[in-house]
Each structure stands twice: as C-alpha cells, then as structure tokens.
Structure 1
Amino acid sequence: MNVEPDLVSASDILVVAPNFKRRLSGVTSTIVQLVPEQAKRLPIAALGPGLPAHLPRLRWRDLPLLWRRPAHKPFRIWHARRNVEMLPGIVLRDLLRMPLRLVFTSASQRRHTGYTRWLIDRMDAVIATSARSGAYLIVPHTVIHHGIDLNRFSPYPEGGAGARGELGLDPARQTIGCFGRVRHQKGTDLFVDAMIALLPRRPDWQAVVAGRATAEHVAFETELKRKIAAAGLSDRILFVGEHRDIERWYRALDLFVAPQRWEGFGLTPMEAMSCGVPVVAADVGVFSDVVTDGCGTIVPPDDLPALAAAIEPFLDDEPSRAQAADTALAKSRAEFALAREADEIIAVYESLWAAS
C-alpha cells in the first residue's frame, strides 16, 4: 500500500529543512528524526527526495509560494546541512529575493574548502554539532549536540535473546555489532580483524556488521568477507546489509563497537547506549563526550591492538558488561533526548526572528 506524504502548505510553514541527497546518510538520519520533533513546536517541512512519507513535506511546485511572507514572522528559515543545500538557499534569498534567513549546521572536523567557507560566510546563523566541529569554523556559531529519539532507540523488553530471535540471529549467542557504511573510513576492517582475533576462543559470541557498501567500496567488503571465510567464521561474523529499522538490531546486541578512523559527529554510540548497550569507540567525532567513564571505553583511532584489547574484557566479564549497559542507558536518558536538540535549534531560529 502506498502512503501519501504528509504535505504541508507553504503558506503555513516557518522552517524548511532541505535534504538533497537521496542515499541514506547520517545527515539524512538526523533530518528524519529531528523534523517530526521540531514539528511539535513550530510549522516545519522537509524538502527533497528519498525521505519517508511520515515527514511533513513541502512540494517542489510550492516553492514559489515562499515569496509570500509568513503571517506571524518577518521571514522563514532555510536550514541547510550540506553545501548542496546552502547554495540553493543563497539563490532563493539573494537572487530571487525570497524572505528567508539561512541557517547551516556543520558536523565536519576538517578544514573547509574555499568554496565551503564562501557558502558558510553567507549564512545568517551557524550551528556546530560539537566543539571539535566548531574549532574548524571561522564564523560565530552555536554548539548544539545531536539528540536521538529515545522512544525509538530503547531496550528490547524481553532482552537481547528475544530481539535476536526476531531477526533470525542465533538467540543463544551473545552479540557484538558494528553499524554504518562499510568502508575504510568507518573502520569496518578494524572491527573484522578484531573479531577474527577474539571470536575463535569464544564460541558463545557472534558479530554483526550492519550497513551498506556503496559501489566504490564493494571490493573492500568482498575482501573482508574473504578474510572471514579463511578464518572459518562466516557463520559468526555476519554482514546483514542496510536497515532503516536499525533500532531492532541494536536491541539484539550485548556490545557495540564504533571503530571509525574519522567521523564528523557520529550517532551510533548514542543509539546503542539508548538501547542499553555499552560501547567501545575510537576517539573521533563526539565519541569521547558520549562514551564517558562507566559506559564503555574510548581508544585511539586506527589502533587495532588497542581496539581488540578494549573489546576483550567486555566479552569475558558479564557483570561488568551489565553494569556498563545500565550506566550507558542512564546517561542516554539524562542527556541524549531529541527534544533537547530541537529546543536548542529553535532558540537559534528565535534569535534571528527577534533580531529582525
């Protein structure tokens, strides 16, 4: 059955959240989670392809209606998260003279190109997703950490074995996971190598890699599967592909590993912790702010021996692992709520409206 998108009249909306990348990505995931939460507080609509039907949506053909000022504000907000969304905002505001102000959220932790700096300089407000991201900006900005949907990401009531059974995994085996794009940058190879080193001595454990290898990384994934087969572990290190209901896979886990070599922000440790799963993570993105003492372990990036050494105690010490799971869940409930992120972003919008 086809579900009609939740279309919103352009005359009613105050904020447009463009998403001009069809592939599932961390930015897209942020928009999918955040827009419905923001919609509880003000009229907002997403614009672009590849978005789920339940999001409040603006149609392309309704863009000309944005020339009309909203009823109760001096302008609308165009909230971009990529270069490909900043540039159209500049065109709409500066060339077509639509009553818009532009907000950009930066998650990047590297020096921006000259073109990106040119775009950022033309924003009316800039948000950084972490202090590390903000350090690469040369414009005034506000640091707002991402939040997640704590209703969606929550522990499985019947425990991990029940979740594993629903997914077709061996329910009797404890499970360690690594989720995200399958590629070198994400450290998928580090996870696989650690599992090849650790699992042969632990027959009661299995590993799951959830995520998609895009065309340029298929050979990388194929080589990892070859190594797993050579180690005789193809039935215990499983590649399960990309899933939009990823929360079901987190709930099947006893431990989560985030081995990225580089990351702009990184939601996966937060999602795992909110499902009651402790985390071993590389010190990239915002991971060291998220995985604090008692919730798991932080290791240097691109350091396989350190990664394996950090994982090993969690595999062998169930009471310590259970305590870390409880601590991770408590931290997530206290700090990771999506409502907190929505409120802080809306405060940025309100500051622009108040200054007009």
Structure 2
Amino acid sequence: MAIGIVGNYGNNNQGDEAILEGILLQLEATHHVSRDEMIVFSNQPEQTAAKYGVQSVKLYYKNKSSLTTMLGTMRKNRSIIRKLDLLLIGGGGIFMDLYGREAFLFGMYGWLAKLSGTPVVLYGVGAGPILTKIGKTILRSLAHLAKLVTVRDPKSKKLLESIGVKSAIHVIGDPAFQVRQPAETKRNTNGLQIGVTAVPYHHRSYWPEEDMAKYDDYITGMARNLDTLLAEHPDATVNFFATKYPQDLQVAEAIRDKMAYSGRSTMQEKSMNHQEITQYASEQDLVIGTRLHSLILALVSHIPVIAVSYHHKVQDFMDMVGCGEYTVPISDLNADDAFFAQAYRSMNRDWPATLDRFQAVATKMKQMSDRGMGLIRQTFENNKEKLLVLSNMYPSGRSKTFGIFVKNQVELLRSKGLDVDVLAIDDPRKGKLLLAKKYGSFLLQSMLNLLTQGKHYHTVHAHYIFPTGLVGLLYKKLLGKRLVVTSHGGDIDQMSKKSERVQSWTKKILEEADEIIVVGERLRAEMLAAFSIDAGKISVINMGVNRSVFHEQDKMDARRRLDLPADEKVLLFVGNLIRAKGLDDLVDAYDIVRDRHDDVSLHLIGEAKDASYFANLKQQAKKRAGIHIHDAMPQEQVADWMAAADVFVLPSHIEGFGLVALEAMACRLPVVGTDVGGLSYLLANDAGMLAAPHDSDDLAAKIDDVLADERTRSRLIANGLEKAAANDQEKLIQDVIALYGLSKEGSRS
C-alpha cells in the first residue's frame, strides 16, 4: 500500500518532525505499512529519507514566481501522486494563510490528488489564522474534496465550520503524542530544573511582518518572569533549548541577556532532534514553552508545562487539555512579571497531584491521536452499514443550539466510523402556517430519501417519537429497516397528550420500534405507566456530556476572559428562555438571595422561544440590578461561563433529563435544580441540590446553602465530577451503537 504524506517536513522544525514520526509510527502499527512504502513530500528529501527510512521527494520546486513554482511542482509530482493508494495531508498548523504559500501549496496537492484519482485525507491539521477570501476558498475546497477531515483541536473544527466547510470534521489528538516516551530519565537533583523555549515573535528571522517593539516587549517579559521565578526559588536553574534551530536559540540568548539572574541559566546549543528534545524535557521538573510542540514533547515525558501563547493554537491546545490557567497571552507577558511564579506556586501546592494531572493529559491525548488512524481504516472499508438519523430539532444558521444534543451525538457516531445520514427540521420558528410548511417539507424530503436511498440503511434512529418516529416507522414497514427511537421527554408528557390521534400513533410507534431509548429513569417510568409496551426493549441512555468541551478550568482565568469581577458571586442559567424553565421562580429567588449577599449577579443564557414571555422577562430583569440576559452561544463559550460561575441553577417545571446540569458538573460547578423529571435522578445522592418546583423560597434557600457553606460546595463539586465522568458521552455512545445491531465490520471504535 503506497501512502504519500504532505506537510511542513524537512524544515528543521522539530515540532513538525515529531508529527511526522508520530504518523509513521501510526501507519506501521495500525495499517502495517512498511516505511519503504511511504513517500514523504519534504523540504529536504535526502535528509528526510535518511532520517526516517522512507522514500522522499521535494515538496515544491522553487521557480521565478509562485505560479511557475506551483506549475513546475505539479508537473514533476503528478506521476508520483497518481501511483499512491492514499495521500495524507497533515499534520501540523498547515490550514492557514498567514505566510502566504500554505493555502496554495496544500490546496494544489489536494486538487492534484483529486485529478489523479487518489483519495485524500486531512490528518490532524491545525487551522488558522485564515485571513483572506482566497485562502478561505482554497482551504474550504480542500476540505470538501477530502474523503476524511480530522483536526487536532475543537477550535480548528469550529474555524473550518465558520468558513463554510460542510464535511464531517473529526477532532483527534496531535500525532506527535505518538512519539515514544524516553526509556530512562537522567534527572539533575540539584534544585528545580526549568526548561524554557522561545520563538522569534515578530522578528524578521521568522515572522512575516517585523515589529521590533513587540519582539522587545516579548523578550523583556520573558526575562522579567524568569527572574521573578528564580528569585522565589534560589536553587532553581533555567535551561534554554530550541525546537527550531538556530532561530529559537538566538531569541533565547536575547532573553538571557536581559535577565538579572542570567548566571543561573544554561543554553543547550546543540541542534536536537525531536526524540532528543523529548529526552531533554524529561530531565526537567517544569517546561515553560512558547512553541506548541515544546509543550507536547514535554507532556509526552509527563512533565508539567506553562505556556506562552504566541499563536492561538497554543491557547487552543491548553484550553482543550483543561490547563488554560497555566497559559499567558504573549502580549500580556511584560505586564505581568509574576505569572510564571504564580503558576508554579499553584502547581506546587500539591505537586504529586500536578504530576498525576499532566500524566493523565498525556495519556488522554495519545488515546485521541490513536483515533485518527482508526477513522482512516473505517473510512475506506467497503462494507460499512449506513445509519439514518431523523430529528425534529437540529442546529442551523437560524439557531446554533436548536437540537444541538442531536448533532453532537451524530458527530460522535461518525467519529466512531459509522456512515450517518441526517434528515431533520432545522427551523426553530413557530406559527401554524410555518409548522405546516416545515413539517410538510420534512415529510416530502423523507419520502424522496426513502425512495432513492432507503435500501442502503441498516437502521433508522428517530429522535422524538412523534412525528419523526412516524417517518421511521415507514422505513421499517416498507423496507424492513431496524427502528430505534429516542424519547427526550416532551414527546411523552406533552406531545402524546395533544390528541387521541397523536397518542394512538405514539403507542403504535413504541410498539413497533425494535429498541426504545429514554434519557432518564423517570421518563422510563412515565412511558411504562402511559403505554402497554415491552419494558425489555427500553434502555435508559442519556445523551452524555462532552468532556472535551465541558471540563475543569481555572475560575479566575475564565472570569478574566468574560470580564467578570473576581469577587462577585455569579449565578448561572443556560437553556431556553421560556416559562416552563421556571425563570420567574429564579428571578424571585434571586431577589431573596440578593438580600443576603450584596455581591451577587444572575446571568441567563439562551434563546427566546416565546416573544411575549421574553418581553416580560426582560422587563423583570430591568427592574433588578445584577440580572443579565445573553443570547445563545457556542458550547465552548458556555463552558467558559460554567467555569466562571459559582452556582448553576435549573429551576425547570418539566425536564426530561437535564443534560445541561451534567455539563455544569463537568466544569466543577455545583448545581441547584428542581425535583422534577430527570433532575430528580440526576441530582440524587448529593450530586446536586434539589429544590421544590414552583417554590422560589426553597430555591433561594438551596442557592444560599451552596454559596455560604464551603463544605457543601466541595461535596457537590466532587460528586458532580464523578457523575459527569460516569455519563461521559464517549462511554454512553457504545451502548447506543449496540442497539443498532450492526455487524462488527459495520462499526468499529
């Protein structure tokens, strides 16, 4: 099997070389491809071939102009690409147009492969910045022609979606996490050893636009921060090393020249390869890195890290692994000369726990990077069985949160290798005429799909019993397809009671379904009480919490990002801004809590579904100080709010499960909710505080308990984290897949 690999290789950047080594190791282990079958397109092909034992050819053939360079490269490399079984473009931060050439170069390789009939995979790429219209167009087209798109962090996925990429985008770990951990570590026991890397930020030796004021601000900030850290730890030594040689070393020397304690520093003047850097990092107690892969290679060695974010990819990575509090923006470095010292002080309060935390990060990221090759294998299997998902709620340009939990599950199924089609209503607007139009359109689209694609599906999964379950029933009756339905609550306690006809159809769908999923135990009990159906085919599986988005963050760091006061007590609600969510009770409870705590605020985040009610809610908020209403926002921003808040409040009158409460728990945010529906089970056993529904006094009392009693708060946080871990979507999705009854070849995780 001949596989080509295109990336920024052979450029003396050891971060990129670590990525390449990781990909080669993965191809050997997962696909059993020998290195002499791999062709790496490199800036220095002779060096790459000798170093890795692969075939290597020039990445591009430089000519008088960019156009003639591209044309010459296409002419020379097309015959090579035509012979490949697969062209892998990645990894690294190649999806950008900051330096001018990347978008054109990698876009050219994608189109060359397309014209040659060679399938393309975008593998573990980092995206951004994408600043130009032509850059967006080229990179979007590259993603659309690829058979598989994988990125190395959630922010890259979000950026690609924002420029119009419609293909499924999978988040995997950086391939550099596959680099082998050093077998032996030679530690210097003579005091605290601090490894440091730098980057020529806005220097002409590296940056596309020179700005010596910014460069000087950076090296001054680094020097001052390192001096503060050394002053606090008289036994400490700073050890400079480079991942891009010699450019990074020149910056390190400039930083050392500005340090008061330069005599307590060393300079690794040797050009090290990525494996030697991993070994060197393993000999440190702490690594302070500006380069992303200096951080990653330190983590491979299970060494704690502090990051200087010179590029958004550094902040994105640290946020993804839940270590955002140990990251300082490069522009803030000179203004805060104690950041390194404060970050290390925080780590050192419980050093064994810190070591465990960073080791867990490395383990998780390696597991995520393992997923990438599994996706390649699954994508090119010929015998995958298809799944059709139906839903009457799905996000769109009109509403990015409308049925977001269904979209999250679909993307998770795809990440497990399932071939999933979606037919859904993505318009949240109401009104009799509009409802008739959108449901009529959905039914017509479903019938057309049944006639043209229906025979290809193994299973139809309908979210909400009526009316989407009715469409699923047609696939079962007419084509013999397996039918799985998920009830989210409203379809049982509201929709089924609208009329005898709807109730009759609901009963019919439940009876005919092969499997029924309910999102909570209370919902299961209500379903069995209302309908005479086989209890054995009902499974309780909630949608699960995405802990790569909702995870622990430093509260003060989150508050700085959101511009929230450090000492304010913040109450948070996230959900639809409707009467059934108990927001009137929450506003009344807020009045009571505010009488006891002057420094309290309430933030409501969500979409207004009822214009009349929302207008009244805004009037109520205006009459009170400290109540703020925010539009619905992406999940990553919601996670920031959850990290920044003190109490999450969900005062619902009706609640099928309450996934948003689980998301809050995953962010270390204690939850107060009403004793209704799925919340009764979710918050049981001290996972949260349960208040009586429609009772603002009891709701206020429970909120006050969490604010006033630190032991109660700590208990709820610990139990909530445990509950979130037990309901991780990565665990629960396997139970869902099992209900589809697919062959082992049809689904592999």
The two structures share one fold, judged by TM-score above 0.5: yes
Name stretches of at least 5 consecutive residues in structure 2 with no aligned partner.
Answer: 1-162, 170-378, 428-444, 497-502, 745-749
In structure 2, distance between residues paired with 1:106 and 1:67: 23
Tell me, yes or no, if structure 1 residue 79 matches structure 2 residue 481. no
Choose which of 126, 135, 139 in structure 1 pairs with 2:533.
139
- Give the SS at the match of 2:720: helix
Output the amino acid matched with 2:560.
Answer: G
Structure 2 residue aligned with 1:148: 545
User: Displacement of 1:227 after TM fit?
Assistant: 2.7
Output the amino acid matched with 1:322.
Answer: S
- Give the SS at the match of 1:286: helix
Structure 2 residue aligned with 1:14: 386
In structure 1, distance between residues paired with 2:546 and 2:616: 35
User: Displacement of 1:66 after TM fit?
Assistant: 2.9
Structure 2 residue aligned with 1:229: 622
- Give the SS at the match of 2:657: coil
Task: Please tell me whether the aligned partners of residues 487 and 518 of structure 2 are also in contact (alpha carbons under 8 angstroms).
Answer: yes
Structure 2 residue aligned with 1:48: 424
- Give the SS at the match of 2:388: strand
CA offset digits 1:105-156 (Å, max 9, x no partner): 1132527322322333332222222222122243223222311111111121
Tell me, yes or no, if structure 1 residue 212 matches structure 2 residue 607. yes
- Give the SS at the match of 1:169: coil
Distance change (3 Å), C-alpha of 1:124 and 1:331: closer
CA offset digits 1:73-128 (Å, max 9, x no partner): xx61110012232222223343xx33522111113252732232233333222222
Tell me, yes or no, if structure 1 residue 309 matches structure 2 residue 701. yes
Name stretches of at least 5 consecutive residues in structure 1 with no aligned partner.
Answer: 52-58, 70-74
5 Å matches for 1:183-194? 183-194=578-589
Task: Please tell me whether the aligned partners of residues 16 and 45 of structure 1 are also in contact (alpha carbons under 8 angstroms).
Answer: yes
Structure 1 residue aligned with 2:484: 103
In structure 2, distance between residues paired with 1:219 and 1:194: 22
Structure 2 residue aligned with 1:343: 734
5 Å matches for 1:266-281? 266-281=658-673
How many matched pairs? 331
Distance change (3 Å), C-alpha of 1:201 and 1:5: same
In structure 2, distance between residues paired with 1:26 and 1:99: 33
CA offset digits 1:159-203 (Å, max 9, x no partner): 222212222333432311111111111101111111122124323
Distance change (3 Å), C-alpha of 1:180 and 1:312: same
Q: Answer 1 or 2: higher relative contact order, Cα 8 Å, separation at least 6.
A: 1
Structure 2 residue aligned with 1:31: 406
User: Displacement of 1:269 after TM fit?
Assistant: 1.2
Task: Please tell me whether the aligned partners of residues 621 and 627 of structure 2 are also in contact (alpha carbons under 8 angstroms).
Answer: yes
CA offset digits 1:327-354 (Å, max 9, x no partner): 3113322x1111222111122222899x
In structure 2, distance between residues paired with 1:3 and 1:49: 20
Structure 2 residue aligned with 1:254: 646
TM-score in terms of structure 2 length: 0.41
In structure 2, distance between residues paired with 1:268 and 1:118: 31
Which shows bigger deviation, 176-185 or 20-29? Answer: 20-29
Distance change (3 Å), C-alpha of 1:178 and 1:67: closer
User: Displacement of 1:14 after TM fit?
Assistant: 2.2
In structure 2, distance between residues paired with 1:247 and 1:35: 21
Structure 1 residue aligned with 2:453: 66
Structure 2 residue aligned with 1:54: none
Which shows bigger deviation, 292-301 or 239-248? Answer: 292-301
Distance change (3 Å), C-alpha of 1:307 and 1:256: same
In structure 2, distance between residues paired with 1:26 and 1:123: 28
Task: Please tell me whether the aligned partners of residues 127 and 143 of structure 1 are also in contact (alpha carbons under 8 angstroms).
Answer: yes
User: Displacement of 1:294 after TM fit?
Assistant: 3.4
User: Displacement of 1:311 after TM fit?
Assistant: 0.9
**How many percent identity over aligned positions?**
24
Structure 2 residue aligned with 1:56: none
Relative to total residues, which structure has the larger helix share, 1 or 2? 2
Output the amino acid matched with 2:389.
Answer: A
CA offset digits 1:208-261 (Å, max 9, x no partner): 1111112xx233233233233333x1xx11111211222222222111111001
In structure 2, distance between residues paired with 1:129 and 1:330: 19
Choose which of 503, 506, 512 in structure 2 pairs with 1:116.
506
User: Displacement of 1:285 after TM fit?
Assistant: 2.1
Higher CA-based Rg: 2
Output the amino acid matched with 1:90.
Answer: L
TM-score in terms of structure 1 length: 0.82
In structure 1, distance between residues paired with 2:545 and 2:421: 19
In structure 1, distance between residues paired with 2:449 and 2:488: 30
Distance change (3 Å), C-alpha of 1:131 and 1:316: closer
